[in-house]
Chain A
Amino acid sequence: MTIQFNKETFRDDYSFKNSDWAIERFPFPFHEDSYMYAVNMEQHRGGPEGSVYEKRFDVDEHYVSEMADRAMVLADDPLRCQSLPHMTLAGWDLLELIMVSKSEDYPDLFELHRDGDTWRWINKPMGIDDTFTFMDETTLPYGPMEYITRQTQGDFCVLDQREDNLWMDAGMVTTQADWSLDFDIGMNFFEWHAPVPLAHEKGIFKRALKFLLNIQQGAPARRLNWTMTVNPLLDTSPENYHKWGIQKTTLTPENIGAKQHLRVELQSFFRLPRSNALVFPIRCYLIAFQDIVKSPKWGRRLHRVIRDLPVELATYKGFIDNRPMMLDYLSAFDDGLPTSPGVFPDNATEPPLQK
């Protein structure tokens, strides 16, 4: 196999770590030295070789451990995975999309053999070899959406489209940035985005919805979003806030480089063929501050973005109290030199830190 899968945890002893390969391909979300909301959509049709944008569903070194963490979350709280009755067809659509994509994009890891409606799915990293009847739920151990998303990194929202709106009618949500599927299930696009500050006033959501309603088969889209997480926690859910929220108070100037993580979501959007639903995978990538600043450009830029971020956004993203300590740490990696445009680290061409 081409990918060496880490054995690591996202809880308790937090043994999660990024290899040099994972650090270099990290989806750094800031293309310039400042940040404001935008409908920053682009087509999701590949990207630079080896980048997280290259494949339809990126598989990386954290895959097997992330799936083990998901199984633990679901064992504690089955409501993290829900599908309203009319969304089963969309679940089959999603299962097909992922199986076809992964078997084509990672033939050494995944195989799909189809003989009419009899399908055999082989997932080598997870040791799965199942034969089932497509569109017959009784032949799988879970519903189709749950079955395939227990084997795919990232959260999944499956959105029904009707009345010129999108409805959160199914999902698998265990690696979320402090929102709850159980709370949002059945809500429409404006309802589930209601808590987001500033963006409504800027008309962002109206424009985003129009864009999403028009996403067509064969033409998926993507964007990045980001927040901050103390400790490499995948499950930062409201349900478990009492467990992880308190950890935000454990930062010290000595441990912040290792403990404070930038959390980036690679969000993509695919029209599903049979159901006309929209699937919205939200893939979470974590990186410690001390790994970000290994790239001089990223260190300079992250300091400037965090320093200049409006108070409302720092509050909404949950790090307003820790911002001064973050800036103390990050300012050591900002020498005031200009940065090259774009999200990539450009380590070969950007000057080393001048202090």
Chain B
Amino acid sequence: MSAAPQKAKAGAEKIDVTVSAVVPLNDLVTRFEFTRNDGQRFPTFSAGAHTVVHMNDGGTPRLNPYSLMSDPADTGTYAISVRRDDQGRGGSLFMHQNVKVGDQMEITYPVNLFSLDLRAKKHVFLAGGIGITPFMAMIAQLERSNGNWELHYSVRTEALGTYVDQLTYKYPNKVHIYYDDQKQGIALEDLLDGQPLGTNVYVCGPKGMIDWVHATASAAGWPDANVHSEEFTAPQPGKPFEVRLCKSDKTITVGENESLLEAMEREGVDAPFLCRGGACGQCETDVVSSDGEFIHRDHWLEPEDHGKKIMPCVSRFVGKSLEIDR
């Protein structure tokens, strides 16, 4: 059809916002709250959704996805909680060190890759560390609809237990906290064993925790469809590599500390993307030719696609030559 062709823009729709609050929660985690510049309400979102925050780090654009952790019914404010990653590529450090109340920023419309299964008779949340953030919104949504939920939340120490006080105060019978430094751990097999039929499990945390929950649930006979996880893979640094972009007729070099997607954007190539974490599939790109090894870090491509396609948001390449269809 060609009723009114418009070129699709890369990424989700954007919203201009002002930072309305910066709230340090502990040594590592700070909450950032946003209000809209145009005076309108934010779109309602479904719990589990994230937004991509656009940062301007001294001329270097940084786009990081963060789970929306505010109450989805609150359309006056959006909030995210950011854990400082001193070893990371700088996005979280920029948020912690540079972003102040009153700053103008750009965030995207909510995108949900980790939604509640609304058929579930019961929702069991398993959080590790900063993985608590999507569950803050899920709990708010389910409380509003009298949903049946419980939270098992593993933190390193009492001092680093983000939102632990608030959660245990409001929901003393539904929230269970586990402290690593006190050698406490979630007794997952027992927990899974006691659940009624129709229970769904959700896990958000480090990769090891996610793999452990999937493996344990699978071994206990749980259907995969009842076990949900969200894992954003931050792009990892790697050796610089050269790539030829066929459609754009350009050869570019991907630097050590940037992703292939970021390198294309730096060169003015309008490449599609959504989550920037290897999960949504939007940036999938065909490989035209290659002589070398791919480092696939995404959760999207099937093994048989490896080498034929690449997800530029998180994956890299080592070798002589790479040519992609972009």
A residues apposed to B, CB below 8 Å: 27, 29, 31, 40, 42-43, 45-48, 51, 53, 85-87, 89, 160-163, 210, 214, 216-219, 222-224, 273-276, 341-343
Contacts and interface: CB of A to CB of B under 8 A. Distances in A.
Given A40-B1, A224-B1, A217 B111 contact: yes
Contacts of B111: 216-217
Contacts of B141: 274
A53 B109 contact: no
A217 B44 CA distance: 9
Nearest to B6: A43
Contacts of A342: 2
Contacts of A27: 3
Contacts of B282: 214
Contact of B109 (A48, A85, A217): A217
Contacts of B43: 217-218, 273
B208 interface: no
Q: From DSSP, what is the main secondary structure of chain B's interface residues?
A: loop
Contact of A47 (B4, B46, B112, B117): B4
The 8 tightest CB contacts between A and B, nearest first, are A47-B4, A218-B13, A276-B46, A86-B118, A276-B115, A273-B44, A218-B109, A86-B119
Contacts of A31: 1-2
B298 to A, nearest CB: 14
B232 to A, nearest CB: 17
22 contacts: A42-B4, A42-B6, A43-B8, A46-B4, A48-B4, A53-B3, A160-B119, A162-B115, A214-B282, A217-B12, A217-B13, A217-B43, A218-B12, A218-B43, A219-B13, A219-B109, A273-B43, A273-B45, A274-B45, A274-B141, A276-B48, A276-B115
B280 A217 contact: no
Interface string B1-30: 111111010001100000000000000000
Contacts of A343: 1-3
Contacts of A46: 4
B225 interface: yes
Contacts of A274: 44-46, 72, 141
Contacts of B112: 276
Contacts of B119: 85-86, 160
A47 B3 contact: yes
B136 interface: no
A231 B151 CA distance: 59
Contacts of B280: 214
Nearest to A46: B4
A161 B119 CA distance: 11
Interface in B33-65: 43-46, 48-49
Q: Which of B1, B72, B110 has the most CB of A within 10 A?
A: B1
Interface string B247-289: 0000000000000000000000000001000001110000000
Given A162-B225, A218-B13, A275-B118, A42 B5 contact: yes
Nearest to A27: B3
B110 A42 contact: no
Nearest to A54: B4
A253 B12 CA distance: 52
B116 to A, nearest CB: 8
Nearest to B108: A216
Nearest to A342: B2
Contacts of B44: 273-274
B145 interface: yes
Nearest to A32: B2
A29 B3 CA distance: 9
Q: Which of A160, A274, A342, A343 has the most CB of B within 10 A?
A: A274
A242 B145 CA distance: 44
Given A217-B43, A273-B44, A45 B281 contact: no
Contacts of B117: 162
B46 A214 contact: no
B3 A216 contact: no
Nearest to B8: A43
A216 B145 CA distance: 24
A216 B225 contact: no
Contacts of B46: 273-276
A40 B1 CA distance: 6
B70 to A, nearest CB: 14
B109 to A, nearest CB: 4
Interface string B103-135: 000000111100111110000000000000000
A216 B281 CA distance: 13
Contacts of A223: 1
Contacts of B118: 86-87, 89, 160, 275
Nearest to B200: A162
Given A48-B4, A160-B119, 14 more contacts: A27-B3, A43-B6, A45-B6, A86-B118, A161-B115, A214-B281, A217-B45, A218-B13, A274-B45, A274-B46, A276-B48, A276-B112, A342-B2, A343-B3
Contacts of B12: 216-219
A163 B4 contact: no
A276 B145 CA distance: 16
Contacts of A276: 46, 48-49, 112, 115-116
B8 A89 contact: no
B4 A89 contact: no
Contacts of B3: 27, 42, 47-48, 51, 53, 343
Interface string B87-113: 000000000000000000000011110
A276 B115 CA distance: 7
Contacts of B115: 161-162, 276
A132 to B, nearest CB: 18
B115 to A, nearest CB: 4
A214 B109 contact: no
Contacts of A89: 118, 145
A210 B274 CA distance: 13
B84 to A, nearest CB: 29
